[in-house]
Structure 1
Amino acid sequence: MNLKFKNKKITGILTVLPENEIKFEDEIDNYAFSKSQSMKLKLIMGYDKRRVVTEGTTISDLCVFGLNHLFENDLLDKNDIDAMVLVSQSPDYFIPSTSHVIHGRLDLKKDMVCLDTSQACSGYPIGIMQAFDLLEQEEINKVVVLNADIYSQKVSKQDRGSRPLTGDGASITIVENDSSNKTIYGSINTNGKGAEALIIPAGGFKMPSSEKTAELTTDSKGNTRSLDHLVMKGDDVFNFVQKEVPPMIENILNKAGKKKEDIDYYMFHQPNKFMLKKLADKMGIPYEKMPHNVVENFGNANSVSTPTNITFNLGEQLTKESMLICLAGFGAGLSWSSLLLEMGDLDFCNMIDYKN
């Protein structure tokens, strides 16, 4: 589905990453692979180090820490927040919504909207588009979009397909009205028939967690996990990305009347280095225009990987100049989304470490 927005802009992006860092070699003995095979996997996929939370840390902790940082440094006035959108699949609780937990912990004003949306890897563009829609209301002038996930808590230590790339984190994106009358192009796509390509089978109401769901089994590729753990069908996900993302980007460029070379950067979700390089090759985009270095430095924190990509690779530049950027997310759902917009002259665009 194609979407279009006017008079909207992003004015700041902050990424919050746990201080706790794990290196690939620290867990290499957990995998049913020889050391030489594991090191080859590291090189191809771009595994190195990742940031993960310590036990007991939740997404509300990460978001509250980041928002307090903005308040304390006069980068955001809490009384100016008219709406908050939280994009996550790692809620603190089933009930209440985690955005309400964050609202209460920060003592925000009562006259505001708080929404939770359950989106995975495609969630950054989707959260921004939800903010754009909220800004159509006369009394809403500033929306905070929170992306946060702690998937590391749901990945088996013996899963070499998912464990080495899974990271945790949160991001805060400020979205406001703009008088420039520039058009922003968006796209959201869904294929629920592929839902089992990325899934945690147990833990919800369909299959509550139990002693049985916690039993470990080993698959044909040597990955040992339980039904309470994340299951990723890597080949299915790879094929989905290669098939669906290029035509989505071609479509959004056509809608905007732009050519591939007109785009300054393609800031995409970061599943792993191998997948992104193959995607860039298929789309005919230079690697330097599609950064692919997030997983090897921080891990893949679901929808947080996109703003991490932005703050890590373009942080200082985006506070000084404006660029034409294509955002894209793709993954669990199956879902894939994109945005094409001018971004720049931001009030802030940086990363901070979460400290317990």
Structure 2
Amino acid sequence: MESLLNAQTNMAAAENAAELNAAEENGSNMVCYVEYDIGTRAYKAKPALGNFFIGEFPQLDLIKELLENKAIHKDDVDDFLYCIETIRKGSVTTRNLHVRLNIIGKESAELYRLVFCRIDSRDGKNQSIMVFFYEVQKESGILIKETKKTSTDSLTGLYNQRGFIEATDELLASQEKGEYLIVEIDVNQFKVINELFGIEEGNRLLTAIADALREASEKIKGGFVAARLRADVFAVCMPHTRRGVDRLFTFCNRAAERWSDKHKVFIAFGLYVITDRTVKIEKMLEHSHTAVNDAKGNYLQRITYFDSKRRASVLQTQVFISEMEEAINKQQFDVYFQPKVNLQTGKIVGAEALVRWIHPERGMISPMDFIPVFEKCGLIY
């Protein structure tokens, strides 16, 4: 890797040597680095990403290519995107971020330490992000199997997603009786909070919510597991009682109120009642995530349960996604042109293109049904 490190000094970003030097700690464990242009989304990678990941990497759009080739583990995608967005919008004090993510290589999924480093030209016209990939297994003093280091969120001290899954499995195995639920907790418009008050204040809000969850764990009996899954998203596994849910709601909202009297913070809660304990915790989290998405933005009803209606919606979404590629290949999408008429002259002056999915079994599917799904999943823009 010595040649890699030498090559970095020849890059245009070398004028910010302080940031680069900070990112290059333990450089002998670095397997590759990427320079990502914020404006164009294009990037340069040395060595090429195709050496490590399955798929095509034409270096046109870093984020799109990593996600389309599933190079980032699905559980870590949000953390990766959060780091990119935070560095992109960050101030001088947030030019470097370190995070551990599961990277899916050609042979297996491995834990890597990614360092994100913001690089600006002197005139401010060119902005880029450096991403350094370090092999965690080879880092001095790090034991990957050490539970605390691989299952704990560094900011809040709560479990991370991996730790939450393990601890929740243990809780449910030890508590054979009683009904339990998974709660996903999400701060509405958290990115706006970061932009208005800064990253440090945003982190202070997150730690306040984490402290509220610890306080709730002391009051709610029957077992309580809390985690910060990613960014501003928390999760809890606890007994399903009305009193317990009310306490959780109260503790979290009280923490948000104490954080600032200048900005009203709304917190959404998505609840999934565990009816089948053989279901994987990851799937339970997906259901609570569906519920919390319905609660976000609804300032009147901030607690939403995952129910049969939402289950049907999830299944329909999965069906649409799985059938999209075949529908394109078999030309099932038809375009209809709706004329635009000049009311003064009565002449057609243009047309609006409308797409319809002509399904061989279900007939015509309205764009109101499938377009929002494809947009939400990033299949269309």
Category of TM-score, reference length = shorter chain = under 0.3
Give the alignment's TM-score, normalised by structure 1.
0.27
Larger relative contact order (C-alpha < 8 A, sep ≥ 6)? 1
Give the alignment's TM-score, normalised by structure 2.
0.26
Structure whose alpha-carbon radius of gyration is higher = 2
